[in-house]
Amino acid sequence: MSEETQTCFCLAETAASRQTIGRLREQLPKARARYDKYKGSGLKRERDAIIDLQKIVSRLWEEFPKLIQRLNEYGDQNLIETTRKLYGVLKKYDYLGTPNYAGLSAALKTYEDMLPADDTIDTAALGHLMNRVRMGYYPTDLEHVKIIKKAVIFPESAVNILDPCCGEGLALETLADGENAVTYGVELDEVRAEEAQNHLKRVGFGSFFHSRISSGAFQCVFLNPPYLSVVSESGHRRQEKAFLADSMRLLMDGGLLIYIIPYYRATPDVCLALCENFDNLQVFRFMDKEFERFKQVVFLGIKRPRRDEPKKARRLSEFMLSPENLQPLTELPEQSYSLPAVEKPVEMFKGEKFNVMELAVQLKKSKSIDRLFENRALDNRPRQPLLPLNVSQIGLVGASGMMNGLVECDTPHVIKGRIVKETKTKIGEENACGKMEIREITSNKLVFNILTPQGYRSLG
């Protein structure tokens, strides 16, 4: 795929925000005019005009936090600061007391023109962004994993921990080091998945979204999903929220989520999903150069049954707009999260693609496979009919040779069955001409030769 057919997500989303702001800017004076027309009348039309104006303003307020996050990914610090200041002005603006929106409309139009478009994209910022896109794979720094591990209390009983984007498996291996933990990982890239098999107990190959994994079977999920993907002809889409949504169902209630994303990807919908499903939710930024390079933060929370938390989600979303407010990971309290001391088997764990080593694990557990391939055991195992044999069936068994050998009973004996051909002559009655019809009939006869302590017998 050539770069000409690709668009960075943040640029595509910023272009959409630019159109939205332009549309709202055009609607504001019209809504104000309707309000002025019916102001003071006390009629329903006045209330409706106020409601319409409030809806436009609320929609404008909702768009700016999204835009700040997109510009954080783009990386133009001057534009980010301008956006924050304009957002502050919009939040304090007296929409009902100000009779003329000309100044507000002009400020919004000037700001729209500042947003990156095809002919105004900052070349340096775009180059930096595309370099990150080309890197694609962001393994979690292991020193940061070790700090996170200090906050986790592992029980003595065995726990299951999962990394849905495990890469080479080093992060999850570091988290589980020295603990009674069974490590599971899923990796899309086949080369990295093969390497992960050297570090994790079980590895599923292929897409996490097409894997089959037991729900509610994991005490901990370590999730560092892919990001900085691009919109292209192949239809790639952002994955942060999709991975979060599908990973949550795999955690048992009381289980720990460790969720690593860039701070600017903590969008309102992501914040809402976190606040609705997790207690003791905390967020910390990565340290020093690691944060400068990838802008990563880590969320930690304890899974619980879902409940509505719109206000909490809005506060978290607003908080994530200013990364300088975030505490560094070194402030994460040690032993602040306990994994459930509940042993539970992972009954289903299958990756999207065929994996020879994973197949070997499944075959070792299969009693049917053992019986199929262990020929000696198959040949020597006792054979018992499901129901007592009738006379005809006994004859068939004897004729087939299945009764050859020693019969152990109160009177032990050796028996061998065989089939012999027997020819009989049949003479018919005289016909009208005084002649008789003579026919020879050949048939199979079952004979049992029996050797007993008292002698030999042949029964037929």
Is 97 in a helix, a strand, or coil?
Answer: coil
**DSSP calls for 248-262:** HTTEEEEEEEEEEEE
Q: How far apart are CA 415 and CA 405, in angstroms?
A: 6
User: How far from 205 is each of 85, 171, 184, 202, CA to CA, in Å?
Assistant: 47, 17, 11, 10
Give the three-class secondary structure for 166.
coil
Task: List, for the chain, all residue ranges whose pLDDT scores fall below the cut of 50.
Answer: 1-5, 129-130, 132-135, 230-235
Residue 73 near residue 264, CB atoms below 8 Å: yes
pLDDT of residue 424: 78
Q: For residue 132, what pLDDT is reported?
A: 47
Give alpha helix (H) positions in 338-413. Answer: 356-365, 367-373, 375-380, 391-399
What pLDDT does 373 receive?
A: 60
Extract the tokens encoding 334.
């040690």
CATH value of 136-364 in 3.30.70.100, 3.40.50.150, 3.40.50.300, 3.30.450.20: 3.40.50.150
pLDDT at 212: 94
DSSP assignment of 396-456 equals: HHHHTTTT-EEE-SSS-EEEEEEEEEEEEEEEEEE-TTS-EEEEEEEEEEEEEEEEETTEE
Q: Residue 361: what pLDDT?
A: 63
The distance between the two most distant Cα atoms of the chain, rounded to a whole number of Å, is 137
H/E run at residue 173: helix 170-176
Name the token pair of 221: 């999920």
Compute the mean pLDDT over every residue in the chain, rounded to the nearest whole number. 82
Beta bridge partners of 260: 298
pLDDT of residue 277: 97
- pLDDT at site 205: 94
What separation in angstroms does the CA of 347 have from each of 243, 288, 362? 21, 41, 11
Instruction: Of 251, 249, 258, give the one whose Cα is nearest residue 297.
Output: 258
Tell which residue, 262, 254, 253, has the closest CA to residue 228: 262
Q: Give me 234's structure tokens.
A: 């192949």
The string of pLDDT tens digits covering residues 312-370 is 999 999 899 888 889 999 999 999 999 999 999 999 999 988 777 666 666 666 666 66
Proportion of the chain in helix, strand, coil states, percent, rounded to 5: 45, 25, 30
Per-residue pLDDT reduced to its tens digit, 90-125: 999 999 888 888 889 999 999 998 888 765 555 555
C-alpha R_g of the chain = 39
CB–CB of 302/277 below 8 Å? no
Q: What are the sequence ranges of the domains in the chain?
A: 3-132, 136-364, 391-459
